[in-house]
């Protein structure tokens, strides 16, 4: 899959940076549209996670990390099972 959660995060931060640009800020309607589309994408990812939990499936669309390592802000790392309860 080409687009992943990290890509969405990057687009959202680009939108935030464009909004803060004092010389040529992004149009608010456009920023709202980006936020709404991002919200729908995140909700669909939640559905995917719930589907995987309920069915016990092991293969996802690839939008979310598949259980390997994920880099968190400030260089922190999370691996499968870390902080997971039950």
Residue 69: pLDDT band by 50, 70, 90 thresholds? very low
Tell me the average pLDDT of the chain: 80
State the average pLDDT over residues 15-36.
Answer: 95
State the average pLDDT over residues 6-24.
Answer: 94
Q: Residue 66 corresponds to which tokens in the numbers above?
A: 């598949």
The helix/strand/coil state of 46 is: helix
Query: In the prediction, which pLDDT does 18 show?
Result: 96
Query: In the prediction, which pLDDT does 36 show?
Result: 96
Answer yes or no: is pLDDT of 70 > 50. Answer: no
What are 26-54's pLDDT values in tens digits?
999 999 999 999 999 999 999 988 988 89
């Amino acid at each position: 899959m080409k687009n992943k959660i990290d890509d969405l995060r990057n687009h959202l931060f680009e939108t935030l940076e464009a909004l803060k640009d004092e010389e040529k800020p992004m149009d608010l309607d456009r920023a709202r549209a980006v936020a709404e589309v991002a919200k729908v994408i995140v909700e669909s990812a939640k559905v995917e996670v719930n589907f995987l939990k309920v069915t016990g499936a092991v293969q996802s669309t690839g939008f979310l990390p598949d259980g390997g390592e994920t880099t968190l802000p400030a260089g922190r790392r999370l691996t499968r099972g870390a902080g997971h309860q039950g």
